[in-house]
Amino acid sequence: MADKKIKCLNPIAQVGLNMFGEGYEITDDIQEASGVLVRSASMHDMEFPDSLAAIARAGAGVNNIPLDKCAEKGIVVFNTPGANANGVKELVIAGLLIASRDIVGGINWVKENAGDDNISKSAEKAKKAFAGHEIQGKKLGVIGLGAIGVLVANAASALGMEVYGCDPYLSVANALNLSRLVHCVKDREEIFEKCDYITVHVPLLDDTRGMINKDTIAHMKDGVVLLNFARDILVNEEDLAKALESGKVAKYITDFPNTTSVNMKNTIVVPHLGASTEESEDNCAVMAVKELKNFMENGNIANSVNYPACDAGVCTSEGRITICHKNTPKLITSCASVFSSEGVNIAHMVDKSRGDYSYSIIDIDTKSTDEMVKKLEAIEGVWKVRIIK
C-alpha cells in the first residue's frame, strides 16, 4: 500500500509523475498529502495538513508559496533552478528581436490584408512601416546572473551584442558558465547608464520588488528597451507607464499580463510563456520529482528555498530520523538526549542551518520508533520529525 501521497495542484508532465514508483500514490485530497507538486497555483491562503512534509515547485519562482509559514510547519519547499532556463532564454531572445523589428506589426498587417489579391506587391510598399534595427553591436544589460540570466547573456553575446551583467550574489557555478565576452559590472548603475536593452532576471524578494521604478529609470539611457521575463512586480508599472508615455523607455516586453501592463503604450505582453515548452515542462517535472523522492526516501534536501541543503546519502544504519527545527542554541543537545534516554546510539548525524531554520538527519543503530518521534516533537522549537527508516 502506498504510504506517500502526492497532490498535484497544477498539471505536471507525465514523464515526471511516472518516476514515482511503488510506495507513492497521486491523491486528489491535499488533506492526506505528504508531498505537493505545484506550478503557479497560489498557496498563500491554504491550510496545510500535518501530514505535509514537502512542496516541490516545478519552476524557478516561488512567490506563490508562503516560504516562512511552510518552514515553521516543518514543510520543506523545493524549486527546480535551471530546469526551464533554456525555454525562458529562448523567449527572451525572441523578446529582444520583437522589440527591435516590428515583427508583430508586420504579421498583423499581413493578416489584415489577407483578402488583398495583390498582397505581394502591397507588402513591398507597406513594409517600410515595419522597419527596425539589428541587435548586433547594441549593448544589453542583464540584471541577475542566475541560470536564466547566464544563458541570456551568453546567447545575446553570441548574437553579437555587447553584454553587461550584474549580480552581487553570482555563484561560482554560474560564473564558470558565463561567457568571457560578458562584462561583469559591480554596480547595476553602470548597466542603467550604458545599455540600450535591459533584461531583468532576479527572484521576487522584498528588496527586488519595484526595483525598476522612476528613480532607476531616470538613470537609464533615453529610448532604452526593457524586458521582464522574471516577475511583473519587479517593475513599478505606474512609473514605467509614464516613462513609456514620455518615450524615456522606448519599449517594454513582458511575460506578465495584468490590468496595467496590457494597456501600456509601446508594450508587448506575452501570456507567461517563458517556460511553456514541452522540454521545460518535462525537465521541471523530472527535477521536482527527483527532489521529492530523495527527500521522502532518504530525508536529503537539495534545492530547497526555505531549508538548508542537507545530504547524508542513502541510509546504511538501522534507523534514520529527520528533524525540521528552529535554529536555536541547545536544541541539538535536547534531541541527542532523547536518543541517550532511549539507550540508542547515534551512528551519524548532519545538522545544517539557514537563517532561522535548521534541519538534522540522524542515523541511529536501532530502528526508529514512534516513541522517539513523540519525545522529539515535544522539544520546543521542533517543527516536524519524520521516520525515514
Which spans of this chain sit near ligand MLT (rule: CB under 6 A)?
Answer: 39-40, 59-61, 84, 274-275
What CA–CA distance (Å, rounded) separates 249 from 231? 19
Give one word for 381, left, alpha or beta, with left for phi > 0 and alpha for psi -120 to 50: left
State which residue, 227 or 275, has the beta carbon closest to ligand MLT: 275
State which residue, 59 or 165, has the beta carbon closest to ligand MLT: 59
Look at residues 306, 234, 297 and name the one whose alpha carbon lies nearest to residue 62: 306
Report the number of secondary-structure helices (H) and strands (E) in the chain. Answer: 13, 16
Q: How far is the CB of 37 from ligand MLT (least distance, A)?
A: 13
State which residue, 280 or 368, has the beta carbon closest to ligand MLT: 280
What CA–CA distance (Å, rounded) separates 194 from 381? 50
State which residue, 92 or 388, has the beta carbon closest to ligand MLT: 92
Q: How far is the CB of 106 from ligand MLT (least distance, A)?
A: 28
Q: How far is the CB of 152 from ligand MLT (least distance, A)?
A: 14
State which residue, 237 or 281, has the beta carbon closest to ligand MLT: 281
Question: What is Dmax (Cα atoms) for the chain?
Answer: 91
Q: How far is the CB of 7 from ligand MLT (least distance, A)?
A: 18
Q: How far is the CB of 211 from ligand MLT (least distance, A)?
A: 17
Q: How far is the CB of 87 from ligand MLT (least distance, A)?
A: 8
State which residue, 228 or 267, has the beta carbon closest to ligand MLT: 228
What CA–CA distance (Å, rounded) separates 365 from 20? 29
Q: Which three cell numbers stand for residue 351?
A: 545538522
State which residue, 61 or 210, has the beta carbon closest to ligand MLT: 61
How far the first Cα of the chain sits from its last, in Å, is 17
Question: Do 344 and 366 contact (CB within 8 A), yes or no?
Answer: yes
Mention every residue, 6+ apart, whose C-beta is less than 8 A from residue 293: 19, 20
Q: How far is the CB of 93 from ligand MLT (least distance, A)?
A: 16
H or E element that contains 9: none
Residue type (1 letter), 119: I
